Chain A
Amino acid sequence: MPQTVETLAPARDAESLPPPPPVAPPVYDDAIVRLFFGATVLWAVVGMLAGATIALELAWWKANLGIPYLTFGRLRPLHTNAVIFAFAGNVCFTGIYYSLQRLLKVRMWSDTLSRFHFWGWQGIIVAAAITLPLGLTQSKEYAELIWPIDLAIAVVWVAFAANFFGTIAIRKVDHLYVAIWFYMSFVIAIPILHIVNNLAVPATMVRSYPVYAGMTDALVQWWYGHNAVGFFLTTPFLGLMYYFLPRAAERPVYSYRLSIVHFWSLVFLYIWVGPHHLLYSALPDWAQTLGMVFSLMLLAPSWGGMLNGLLTLRGAWDRVRTDPVLKFMVVAVSFYGMSTFEGPMMSIRAVNGLSHFTNWVIGHVHSGALGWVGMISFAVLYWLAPRLWDRPLARPGWATTHFWLATIGIVLYTVSMWAAGLTEGLTWRALDGAGQLKYASWVEIVAQLRPFYWLRFAGGTLYLLGAILMAVNFILTVRGARGGASAAPAKTAAEPALA
């Protein structure tokens, strides 16, 4: 496939292009990609710093310095919102704006909407970063933001969706590559989930009352909550994998068939699994069963994505040893497989009885979040940086250091949380010879967790250090050539259209 290799060269400046081909090559909007790229790196560091801070507070609560804005209860939602909506969201937008234009051979439909999307989304994040420490919250996990911000999210997302589908409408190719299906599921599912879960009657500017009550509220919340995992932390990232992994590996995707089957089964099954967050609750039994069995059936469709990723690397394994981008991708896809095996197991009633409410869930969350979402994001960023700024990465060696910091960090994080979770699950239910609780004092059990909390803090800190190293590397990369002899990079890089 000579074309594949050719397109792997970084985008060239307008000046250095060969004589114009008969058909004008599409001119892509890469400035917007660079904006989202920068925002991603910034929020990655901020979000993970918040994560490391609350990890420290759990091990040593005095780290909150007695300042109400820094207490665990307020920083925790700040962490989750920053890493999910700011870091993960912006990296998805970065990858989508880059790949969508190239896959469809057309510039984004509207530059104005692209800019509105970018600034609107960053504004929402800043609003979140102000309101959450102030304690303004709706108290729904991952949907904490108060109603005016919720409205802004809906408006900005509709603008993004219009631009996204507008671009698809004016595309220059017939076929829609698999990455785009995954992006579509993200663009369509998120506003539906967001609007339905946040329906509320405003009382004041910062307070509102949800339209649902009791069990209905819980069910809607976790229908939203799990699909946020499914359509925010999974499908767009699978889309990124389908675009960036074959490009980085320079290998054909293993199976088109598998991609179709696992895409449709994945999006169909995800919608039903929310009740696995409400096992042994007041939710009707049949709904709990539904959540459990649909989660089990989700195993194979999830592994379909992992297989297509790993098998695409056939013939490129020698490069995995040297190329940090591929290293990040291999670990990402492996952790995706791991957490999507763990998830279905935790959905089994008996297992959930042990794992629910314990740190095991936190371990599971972060094997997906740090292992899958984080690592695939780093791969995409490292692959994109030289192409977006048309210059080599300033410190290639640092990328490998980052890889090891992150990998060791994840292992420390997940292993310590599994151990903490099992400790909790087993001690809570242990009975003594007289049928009484063996560990009746809650405080005693919590005190036992402290070594694990310290270990998790250490792991998280390594992960954060890696991200900071990456940020510095990108700053050096971008600054590097500005002082250099080469011409300033063209605002809109163009790639020659494929023959």
Chain B
Amino acid sequence: MGKSIQRDQVTGHADEADGIEEYDNPLPDWWLGLFWFTIIFAIGYTLHYHFIAHRSPQKELAAELAAARVQWPEGVAGAAFVPTHELAEKGEAIFKTNCVPCHGEDLHGKIGPNLTDDVWIHGGRPDDIVRTITNGVQAKGMPTWGPILGPERVKEVAAYVISEHGK
């Protein structure tokens, strides 16, 4: 840009603008630079996203899932459930935060049924209990814990429930 523009020259419209004068100063260079930068970035990004890298949210998700499968191989989550004391110990805290309001501190039941007796509505085998906790019983008010706790912690809390049996 030729720099012959004079600064602080008024346009002479003041009598038509309730006395407000206006200078006709040039656009600040850095401002113009910023504008051009965003325009060029916009074009570059669009071309890159859609036509060069062919990106999309679906692909982003697929890539994240693939990475997760490598980092946490399916085997761990899918392994058969064997309740142990270690799991039960970890499960106690999970039970205290999530289950006490309905099943009670001592598991003897409140809104939800007693979990220490021999009466099981949905089956008393370890896998049954894991399944009930994972899927919940929506119609009766037992939440679906699978997506909230994740398979690992469902197993821990199930182990805790089993360890409390008969108490």
**Chain A contacts for B45, CB-based, 8 A:** 289, 292-293
Could you tell me if B148 and A440 are in contact, using CB atoms closer than 8 angstroms? Answer: yes
Interface centre among A99, A255, A296, by most chain B C-beta atoms within 10 angstroms, is A255
Among B21, B32, B42, contact of A1 (Cβ-Cβ < 8 Å): B21
Identify which of residues 21-37 in chain B touch chain A, using a CB-to-CB cut-off of 8 Å.
21-28, 31-32, 34-35
Which range contains the number of B residues in contact with the other chain? 35 or more
| Identity of the chain A residue whose Cβ is nearest the Cβ of B12 in the assembled complex | A175
| Identity of the chain B residue whose Cβ is nearest the Cβ of A349 in the assembled complex | B57
A434 CA / B150 CA spacing, docked (Å): 10
Number of interface residues of A (CB under 8 A): 54
Q: SS class of chain A's interface: helix, strand, loop or mixed?
A: helix
Could you tell me if A243 and B20 are in contact, using CB atoms closer than 8 angstroms? Answer: yes
Could you tell me if B150 and A253 are in contact, using CB atoms closer than 8 angstroms? Answer: no
Among A175, A256, A292, A296, contact of B24 (Cβ-Cβ < 8 Å): A256
Q: Is A374 an interface residue (CB 8 A)?
A: no
Q: Is A427 an interface residue (CB 8 A)?
A: no
Among B14, B49, B57, B153, contact of A3 (Cβ-Cβ < 8 Å): B14
Could you tell me if B148 and A297 are in contact, using CB atoms closer than 8 angstroms? Answer: no
Identify which of residues 435-469 in chain A touch chain B, using a CB-to-CB cut-off of 8 Å.
435-437, 440-442, 444
Q: Is B16 an interface residue (CB 8 A)?
A: yes
A272 CA / B32 CA spacing, docked (Å): 21
Q: How far is the CB of A114 from chain B (nearest CB, A)?
A: 19
Q: How far is the CB of B18 from chain A (nearest CB, A)?
A: 4
Q: Is A207 an interface residue (CB 8 A)?
A: no
Could you tell me if A441 and B34 are in contact, using CB atoms closer than 8 angstroms? Answer: no
Among A246, A303, A435, A442, contact of B20 (Cβ-Cβ < 8 Å): A246
Q: Is B76 an interface residue (CB 8 A)?
A: yes
Q: Is A299 an interface residue (CB 8 A)?
A: yes
Identify which of residues 1-53 in chain B touch chain A, using a CB-to-CB cut-off of 8 Å.
8, 10-11, 13-28, 31-32, 34-35, 38-39, 41-43, 45-46, 49-50
Could you tell me if B31 and A441 are in contact, using CB atoms closer than 8 angstroms? Answer: no
| Identity of the chain B residue whose Cβ is nearest the Cβ of A175 in the assembled complex | B16
Could you tell me if A258 and B27 are in contact, using CB atoms closer than 8 angstroms? Answer: yes
Q: Answer whether A296 and B23 are a contact pair too, CB < 8 Å, given A3-B14, A7-B18.
A: no
A258 CA / B15 CA spacing, docked (Å): 20
Q: Answer whether A255 and B26 are a contact pair too, CB < 8 Å, given A280-B57, A441-B98.
A: yes
Q: Is A254 an interface residue (CB 8 A)?
A: yes
Q: Is A257 an interface residue (CB 8 A)?
A: yes
Q: Answer whether A252 and B20 are a contact pair too, CB < 8 Å, given A258-B27, A280-B57, A296-B41.
A: yes
**Chain B contacts for A99, CB-based, 8 A:** 18
Q: Is B56 an interface residue (CB 8 A)?
A: yes
Q: Answer whether A434 and B72 are a contact pair too, CB < 8 Å, given A257-B25, A498-B19.
A: yes
Identify which of residues 357-396 in chain A touch chain B, using a CB-to-CB cut-off of 8 Å.
none
Q: Answer whether A297 and B20 are a contact pair too, CB < 8 Å, given A441-B97, A498-B15.
A: no
Interface centre among A105, A247, A259, A289, by most chain B C-beta atoms within 10 angstroms, is A289
Q: Answer whether A255 and B25 are a contact pair too, CB < 8 Å, given A175-B17, A297-B38.
A: yes
A258 CA / B137 CA spacing, docked (Å): 64
Q: Is A490 an interface residue (CB 8 A)?
A: no
**Chain A contacts for B18, CB-based, 8 A:** 7, 99, 102-103, 105, 177, 243, 247, 498
Some 22 contacts from A to B, beta carbons below 8 A apart, are A3-B14, A3-B19, A4-B21, A7-B18, A177-B20, A247-B18, A247-B20, A253-B20, A255-B25, A256-B13, A256-B25, A257-B25, A265-B35, A285-B50, A289-B50, A293-B46, A300-B35, A434-B76, A435-B68, A435-B150, A441-B148, A498-B15
